[in-house]
Amino acid sequence: MPEFMDIHTGMTGLTAEGLSEAHAADLAIQDEEGVNFKKAWADPVSGHVYCLSEAPSAEAVQRIHERAGHPADEIHPVPLSA
């Protein structure tokens, strides 16, 4: 299944608890779109959050993030990894 890295901006001051809550919101509904969110990272100073997922499409990733209340600003396919 294809992998995607998505980026959220404007989340300055996000805490570890807030990141965990946002990630849990995605996990709770991910199966409805066939998405598997693998990991999330955040930089509370810059306000950037990064999520790695496996999904049938970038649109499926965005639909889950939108429903969870935090749409992604960018979604990039990850065709190669090491």
Q: Among 48, 74, 47, 46, which Cα is nearest to 61's?
A: 74
| Tokens read off for 30 | 């991910």
| pLDDT value of position 13 | 95
| pLDDT value of position 42 | 97
Residue 60 lies inside a defined structural domain of this protein: yes
Residue 53 lies inside a defined structural domain of this protein: yes
| pLDDT value of position 48 | 98
Residue 82 lies inside a defined structural domain of this protein: no
What are 12-53's pLDDT values in tens digits? 999 999 999 999 999 999 999 999 999 999 999 999 999 999
Total domain count, the chain: 1
| pLDDT value of position 22 | 96
| pLDDT value of position 72 | 98
Domain housing 70: 3-77
Q: How far apart are CA 35 and CA 9, in angstroms?
A: 21
Whether the full predicted model's pTM is greater than 0.85, yes or no, is yes
End-to-end CA distance of the chain: 16
Evaluate whether 62 touches 36 at the Cβ level (below 8 Å).
no
